[in-house]
């Protein structure tokens, strides 16, 4: 039983290896056919057959890792390929193997570089030069963290380079000359590069750091570029005074902004108070003036009569001037209405004086 155990393990390992190779056999054949659709017999010409093994039978252009029995590189340089790169098949190949080298240089491939290239996380060398590839580079390209050499020269690529392409720390070769790239060059530190060429594009701005390590031919053909080793010097940075003035403007703008918010808030509060006050005035109940009762009228009339010397009242000089026919309305103690004419009012003092004299004479007679 102990002797059977190692044999059983070896069988499992060999089965796992064959399963890995079988997984990439058909995808490799279909990938090749996509690269050369005009040559339907190219797989047979390269000995890529379904009943053979890519590694042990040594398919042409295929290199395997002998220890892991896994796909290591696809080298199809100068195979007169006229098709395109299939992204789905490429992702299957990269997920089922440890592909580190993809060389498709010097063919006539068209189309773009598919974004599925990011699935080839083990890729260290990507060579696509001297083809007819177009479009912009996929934004997923910087995900190839193990990439060391990237050659996309002599194609029809356009657009801006991915801004984070310089984040690939191990990159030491970047060849993108003779394309139609625009924008600025990413912030490569060329002190760590062995090969660098971006000539004959439409780049603008300043060259990357340590560009003096390379000849001017690595940057020629870009009228918008400046800085050493080019003869075109970049415009000087703005003077420090401008930066100081901008720094002074910043707090002033902040103060103005805060003041505006405070004024706006105060206005809202005042408007709110105004509307609340107006609403209270509308809701306030206006009490009507109460008519005086008969008892109140009677008491007030008695008070007025007690202050008079008699129950008669003479009219004002103005009323007298208006005519003798005018009259004055007087209320007696029993609230009877009397209309007195001017002649009666003029006789009232004389009668009062007569009555007074009589009372005085009567009192003198009695005293005797």
CA distance to 247, 253, 254, per residue, from 257 (Å): 16, 6, 5
Please tell me whether residues 165 and 22 are part of one structural domain.
Answer: yes
Please tell me whether residues 214 and 330 are part of one structural domain.
Answer: no
In a domain, 56, yes or no: yes
DSSP state of 82: -
In a domain, 43, yes or no: yes
In a domain, 309, yes or no: yes
DSSP state of 192: G
**Which of 198, 226, 254 is where one domain is finished?**
226
Q: At what angle do helices 4-35 and 87-95 cross, to 10 degrees?
A: 160
* Rounded Cα–Cα distance for residues 128 and 206 (Å): 27
Contact 52, 107 (CB under 8 A): no
Please tell me whether residues 160 and 35 are part of one structural domain.
Answer: yes
In a domain, 173, yes or no: yes
Please tell me whether residues 222 and 333 are part of one structural domain.
Answer: no
Domain range enclosing 314: 303-367
In a domain, 158, yes or no: yes
In a domain, 152, yes or no: yes
In a domain, 260, yes or no: no
Please tell me whether residues 35 and 166 are part of one structural domain.
Answer: yes
CA distance to 19, 207, 224, per residue, from 197 (Å): 42, 11, 16
50 burial type by CB count under 10 A (0-12 exposed, 13-18 middle, 19+ buried)? exposed
Please tell me whether residues 100 and 185 are part of one structural domain.
Answer: yes
- pTM of this structure: 0.61
**Which of 204, 226, 248 is where one domain is finished?**
226
Contact 36, 46 (CB under 8 A): no
203 burial type by CB count under 10 A (0-12 exposed, 13-18 middle, 19+ buried)? buried
Q: What are the pLDDT tens digits along the chain (368 aa)?
A: 443 444 333 333 343 344 466 778 999 999 999 999 999 899 999 999 999 988 888 899 999 987 757 899 999 999 999 999 999 999 999 998 889 999 999 999 999 999 999 999 999 999 999 999 999 999 999 999 999 999 999 999 999 999 999 999 999 999 999 999 999 999 999 999 999 999 999 999 999 989 999 999 999 999 999 999 999 998 876 665 554 445 545 565 676 678 777 777 778 778 778 777 777 776 664 455 555 555 555 455 555 544 544 444 444 444 444 444 445 555 555 555 555 555 665 666 666 666 665 665 665 556 55
Please tell me whether residues 308 and 175 are part of one structural domain.
Answer: no
> Cα angle vertex 84, ends 19, 168, to 5°?
75
Total domain count, the chain: 2
CATH number of 185's domain: 3.80.10.10
């Amino acid at each position: 039983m102990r002797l059977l155990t190692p044999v059983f393990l070896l069988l499992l390992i060999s089965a796992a290896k064959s399963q890995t190779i079988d997984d990439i056999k058909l995808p490799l054949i279909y990938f090749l056919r996509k690269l050369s659709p005009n040559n339907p017999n190219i797989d047979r010409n390269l000995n890529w057959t379904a009943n053979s093994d890519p590694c042990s039978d040594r398919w042409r252009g295929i290199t395997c890792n002998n220890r892991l029995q896994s796909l290591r590189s696809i080298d199809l340089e100068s195979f007169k390929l006229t098709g395109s790169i299939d992204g789905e098949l490429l992702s299957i190949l990269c997920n089922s193997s440890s592909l580190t080298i993809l060389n498709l240089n010097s063919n006539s491939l068209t189309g773009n570089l598919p974004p599925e290239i990011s699935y080839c996380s083990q890729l260290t060398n990507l060579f696509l030069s001297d083809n007819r590839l177009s479009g912009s580079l996929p934004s997923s390209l910087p995900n190839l963290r193990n990439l060391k050499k990237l050659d996309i020269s002599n194609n029809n690529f356009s657009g801006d380079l991915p801004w984070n392409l310089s984040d690939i720390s191990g990159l030491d070769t970047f060849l993108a000359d003779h394309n139609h790239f625009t924008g600025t060059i990413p912030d490569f530190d060329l002190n760590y590069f062995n090969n660098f060429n971006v000539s004959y594009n439409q780049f603008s701005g300043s060259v990357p750091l340590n560009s003096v390590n390379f000849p001017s031919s690595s940057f020629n053909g870009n009228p918008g570029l400046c800085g050493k080793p080019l003869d075109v010097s970049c415009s000087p940075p703005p003077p420090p005074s401008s930066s100081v003035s901008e720094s002074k403007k910043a707090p002033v703008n902040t103060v103005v902004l805060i003041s505006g918010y405070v004024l706006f808030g105060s206005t809202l509060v005042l408007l709110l108070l105004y509307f609340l006050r107006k609403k209270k005035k509308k809701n306030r109940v206006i009490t009507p003036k109460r008519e005086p009762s008969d008892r109140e009228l009677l008491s007030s009339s008695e008070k007025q009569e007690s202050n008079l010397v008699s129950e008669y009242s003479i009219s004002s000089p103005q009323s007298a001037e208006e005519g003798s026919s005018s009259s004055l309305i007087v209320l007696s103690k029993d609230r009877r209405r009397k209309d007195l004419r001017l002649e009666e009012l003029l006789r009232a003092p004389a009668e009062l004086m007569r009555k007074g004299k009589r009372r005085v004479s009567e009192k003198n007679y009695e005293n005797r």
